[in-house]
Amino acid sequence: MADVASIAGVSKATVSRVLSGAPGVSAETRARISALAKELSYVVSPDASRLSRGATGRVAVVMPQTTTWYYGAVLCGILEVLQPEGLDTLVYQVAHDGESRRFFADLPAQRQVDAVIAVAFPVSDFERRQLDLLGVPVVVAGGSLLHHAYVRIDDVLAARQAVTHLIRAGHERIAMINSMVTDERPFAPPADRLRGYRSALDDAGLALDPELVIELPWSTTMGAQAMDRLLSLPRPPTAVFAFCDEIAVGALRSLRRAGIQVPRAMSVIGIDDHPLAELCDLTTVHQPVQMQGRRSAELALSLLGGAPVTEQHLTVPTHLVIRGTTAPAMSGED
Amino acid sequence: MADVASIAGVSKATVSRVLSGAPGVSAETRARISALAKELSYVVSPDASRLSRGATGRVAVVMPQTTTWYYGAVLCGILEVLQPEGLDTLVYQVAHDGESRRFFADLPAQRQVDAVIAVAFPVSDFERRQLDLLGVPVVVAGGSLLHHAYVRIDDVLAARQAVTHLIRAGHERIAMINSMVTDERPFAPPADRLRGYRSALDDAGLALDPELVIELPWSTTMGAQAMDRLLSLPRPPTAVFAFCDEIAVGALRSLRRAGIQVPRAMSVIGIDDHPLAELCDLTTVHQPVQMQGRRSAELALSLLGGAPVTEQHLTVPTHLVIRGTTAPAMSGED
DNA sequence: CTGTTAGCGCCTTCAT
DNA sequence: ATGAAGGCGCTAACAG
């Protein structure tokens, strides 16, 4: 910056004002200096700038994984909002317990970012306390966390939309394949979706058969495993509601291998409207994932802006997408 | 830091030495101070630290998208290496031309990171020049770029592995569905894979029928579209080689809708070994995506370390994974 | 082994 | 409208 100033024959202060868009510089000088800066392809050092001004211009995104579509899509939405604002995005992947301990104990994000967006992951008590310690606004996408701002879907409702669709098609033995979650790290979506499943059955006066609820720790093939288990039951279900589309697709594979016709002999529905759902012709409940990323970034922005944020808790809508994996129950099945 | 120093009754310099692991402090003092810091949950301000020390402790990852599996997996690999080293990762999504222009013209990453990892995207001449302007090491994952370090697969070979598998199964009319790329932003993989397809046919003495090579701009459904086109041909192929698994799965959907049996009447093969490939029973050529992320991060690290890097150009291996979508050609087909 | 003294590169009053 | 000076929080020479 000193260079630019001396070449332009002005003081660093003026250059600073121009480059930071501060008022108090004649249009002529402003134009001349910004042109010069561009020519020299000079940009201010963010670090120095932030050191003196206080804010970092960065926001941290914390997610348990980066390889599944959901997290990629949320990240995409976040970047779409943050990048145009000139904010940089730091990604922290906090996967297994070891990483989690280190991350939350060392707080590498501290004094490093102006805000934190936590994307859909189970937060333990300890972790929550550490988050507060960061001393910056925290917004949660795809979940919720005490008093913090959040953006999410209504998981109970989404599950109800899925299960109700099956019930209307005449199904009575409806299984659920759910993602397992530990007590120590509570994670709302699986619990909420199970609740939605229950209440939909209730409303229809259908009994819940505990055998039909399979809970397994997440993995690529867990949908297939769960389906295998359901098929080995003395009285298998006629329809399956999966926690998410990836699981539903795994279930479809098992069914294909077992030679069971979908949807004639078995209906399958998921949640997400994963791109792959369209490819597999999977009936599902759509949730706007990228939008949740965008909204959470916008929330972070307004929290940053200091403006009193009126709506800190956003619930975005979901809707049923009927494709080819659900059909009326075969009559005379029982 | 001043607080910690005064409470501990030492100078800031000592605290700094302790917290940065610098030598020249008695074990006793060191222990006392680091304990105190932990108790106060005090961490040094990265910005201030970096301002005075010069290095930023951050690396930029630039990718054209974040929603597809490939990019998520590469990012995951990168984070696996960078996070344990205490380096932070800045993600820039540079998707369409507008964003690209802004990113490369404004160089938001300048003076902001110690290295840049560019993940699988077409780089124009202008962009390449701007990258050099950043003045930091650049490593490319999933591609290559002049003199810069890179980690990639041998795309020609991967394509040959796929096509040769089909040829050995007796197929003679083998189509290729490729991702379209513009001249202005060259991107090696599509061109290389096409070359591999050609050379495999050549080696087998098979003629290449231009009608069987479909090139379309990338989209979720482009595999399906391309397959539709192939099916409407007077003499459709008996096997299809897709640029990647996501495209192959789209092709499978078209085939299913058209009522064409896979693999009896049509063989399909992709590249990637996408998790979804296993779910769809798709034969494919495996490439180690996450590992490419790791390797590129390691390359960046050693480039950063100043140590003379011996091997700047890594090619990681691929291999055929035979599943259920390929089978011998039906005899008497022609 | 520890304290002192300069900056790192920029922003921000306060003068001019 | 512009310049001069102090300080953001830390590190890196020097002294001691």
DSSP string over B183-208? SSS--HHHHHHHHHHHHHHHHTTPPP
Find the Å distance, CA of residue A24 to C1' of nucleotide C14.
15
Q: Beta strand A283-286 with A319-321: parallel, antiparallel or unpaired?
A: antiparallel
Residue B90 near residue B58, CB atoms below 8 Å: yes
Nearest by CB to residue B76, choosing from A88, A93, A111, is: A93
Contact A107 B281 (CB under 8 A): no
Which is nearest to A244 in space by CA: A317, A158, A173? A158
To test the contact with chain B by mutation, choose from A91, A107, A257 the residue with the greatest count of B C-beta atoms within 10 A, namely A91
- Give dist(CA B269, CA B286) in Å, integer: 11
Find the Å distance, CA of residue A7 to C1' of nucleotide D2.
16
Q: How many structural domains are present in chain B?
A: 3
Query: B9 to each of B32, B39, B41, B108, B255, how far by Cα in Å?
Result: 11, 16, 18, 41, 76
Query: B177 to each of B206, B214, B271, how far by Cα in Å?
Result: 18, 5, 11
Residue B270 near residue B51, CB atoms below 8 Å: no
Kindly report, residue by residue over A272-303, the tens digit of the pLDDT. Answer: 999 989 888 999 999 999 999 999 999 999 98
Residue B166 and residue B84 in one domain: no
Contact A91 B107 (CB under 8 A): no
Residue B294 near residue B89, CB atoms below 8 Å: no
Contact A112 B46 (CB under 8 A): yes
Domain interval for residue A204: 155-287
Q: Which residue of A has its CA nearest to B219?
A: A275
Residue B190 and residue B130 in one domain: no
Q: Is residue A323 part of a domain?
A: no
Find the Å distance, CA of residue A134 to C1' of nucleotide C12.
27
Find the Å distance, CA of residue B111 to C1' of nucleotide D6.
25
Residue A311 and residue A164 in one domain: no
Query: In B, which residues are within 8 Å of A77 by CB distance?
Result: none
A89 burial (CB, 10 Å; 0-12 / 13-18 / 19+) is buried
- Give dist(CA A150, CA A143) in Å, integer: 7
**Does the beta carbon of A275 lie under 8 angstroms from any beta carbon of chain B?**
yes
Residue A166 and residue A250 in one domain: yes
Q: Which residue of B has its CA nearest to A257?
A: B281
pLDDT category, A184, cuts 50, 70, 90? confident
pLDDT at position B319: 98
> What is this structure's pTM?
0.93
Q: Where are the beta strands (DSSP E) in A33-114?
A: 58-63, 88-93
Residue B177 and residue B280 in one domain: yes
- Give dist(CA A207, CA A323) in Å, integer: 27
Which residues, numbered 62 to 81 in chain A, qualify as contacts with chain B under a Cβ-Cβ cut-off of 8 Å? Answer: 65-69, 71-73, 75-76, 79-80
pLDDT at position A181: 83
Q: How many CB pairs under 8 A join A and B?
A: 137
Query: B282 to each of A205, A223, B327, how far by Cα in Å?
Result: 42, 17, 11
Q: Beta strand B138-141 with B149-153: parallel, antiparallel or unpaired?
A: parallel
Q: Is residue B270 part of a domain?
A: yes
Average pLDDT in chain A: 92
B315 C-beta less than 7 Å away from strand C? no
Residue A13 and residue A108 in one domain: no
Residue A163 near residue A174, CB atoms below 8 Å: yes
Buried b (16+ CB within 10 A) or exposed e, B241-264: bbbbbbbbbbbbbbbbeeeeebbe
Question: Which residues have CB under 8 Å from B72's CB, separation 6+?
Answer: A66, A67, A68, A69, A71, A72, B66
Cis amide bond preceding A263, omega within 30: yes
Q: Is A103 helix (H, G, I), strand (E, B) or coil?
A: helix
Q: Which residue of A has its CA nearest to B82?
A: A92
Q: Is A268 helix (H, G, I), strand (E, B) or coil?
A: strand
Q: Is residue B275 part of a domain?
A: yes
Q: Where are the beta strands (DSSP E) in chain B?
A: 58-63, 88-93, 115-119, 138-141, 149-153, 174-179, 213-216, 239-242, 267-272, 283-286, 313-316, 319-321
Residue B281 and residue B224 in one domain: yes
The two three-digit tokens of residue B306, written as one number = 């100043």
What residues does A319 pair with on adjacent strands? A286
DSSP state of A28: H
Q: Is residue B325 part of a domain?
A: no
Residue B236 and residue B182 in one domain: yes
| Residue at token pair 């317990």 | A97
A19 C-beta less than 7 Å away from strand C? yes
Give the nucleotide at minimum CA-to-C1' distance from B25: C1
pLDDT at position A333: 45
**Does the beta carbon of A90 lie under 8 angstroms from any beta carbon of chain B?**
yes
Phi/psi of residue A329, each to 5°? -65, 145
Residue A14 and residue A138 in one domain: no
Residue B272 and residue B164 in one domain: yes
Q: Is residue B269 part of a domain?
A: yes
Find the Å distance, CA of residue A25 to C1' of nucleotide C12.
15
* CATH number of the domain bearing residue B170: 3.40.50.2300
Phi/psi of residue B246, each to 5°? -60, -35
Which is nearest to A292 in space by CA: A100, A122, A155? A155
Which residues, numbered 186 to 245 in chain A, qualify as contacts with chain B under a Cβ-Cβ cut-off of 8 Å? Answer: 220-221, 224
* CATH number of the domain bearing residue B29: 1.10.260.40
Kindly report, residue by residue over A14-41, the tens digit of the pLDDT. Answer: 999 999 888 888 999 999 999 999 898 8
Instruction: Please state the rounded mean pLDDT for residues A193-204.
Output: 98
DSSP state of A211: G
Residue B18 near residue B33, CB atoms below 8 Å: yes
Instruction: Please state the rounded mean pLDDT for residues A161-172.
Output: 97
B326 C-beta less than 7 Å away from strand C? no
Nucleotides of D strand lying within 7 Å of any protein CB atom: 1-13
Q: Is residue A164 part of a domain?
A: yes
Q: Is residue B113 part of a domain?
A: yes
- Give dist(CA B326, CA B269) in Å, integer: 7
Nearest by CB to residue B69, choosing from A69, A86, A224, is: A69
Q: How far B89 CA lies from chain A's nearest CA (Å)?
A: 5
| Residue at token pair 């211009």 | A57
Residue A130 and residue A166 in one domain: no
pLDDT at position A249: 93
pLDDT at position A325: 97
Q: Above 70 in pLDDT, residue A64?
A: yes
Kindly report, residue by residue over A230-255, the tens digit of the pLDDT. Answer: 999 999 999 999 999 999 999 999 99
Kindly report, residue by residue over B77-90, the tens digit of the pLDDT. Answer: 999 999 999 899 99
B34 C-beta less than 7 Å away from strand C? no
Residue B293 and residue B148 in one domain: yes
Length of chain B: 334
Residue B163 near residue B320, CB atoms below 8 Å: no
Query: In A, which residues are within 8 Å of B252 by CB distance?
Result: 279
Q: Beta strand A239-242 with A213-216: parallel, antiparallel or unpaired?
A: unpaired
Contact B72 A76 (CB under 8 A): no
Nearest by CB to residue B56, choosing from A47, A75, A80, is: A47
Kindly report, residue by residue over A66-111, the tens digit of the pLDDT. Answer: 999 999 999 999 999 999 998 999 999 998 888 888 898 888 888 8
pLDDT tens track of chain B, all 334 residues? 888 999 999 999 999 999 988 888 889 999 999 999 988 888 999 889 988 988 888 999 999 999 999 999 999 999 999 999 989 999 999 988 888 888 998 888 888 899 999 999 888 888 998 888 888 999 999 988 878 999 999 999 999 999 999 999 999 999 999 999 887 777 889 999 999 999 999 999 999 999 999 999 988 889 999 999 999 999 999 999 999 999 999 999 999 989 999 999 999 999 999 998 988 899 999 999 999 999 999 999 999 876 667 788 999 999 999 999 999 988 654 4
Average pLDDT in chain B: 92
B290 C-beta less than 7 Å away from strand C? no
Contact B46 A79 (CB under 8 A): no
Cis amide bond preceding A328, omega within 30: no
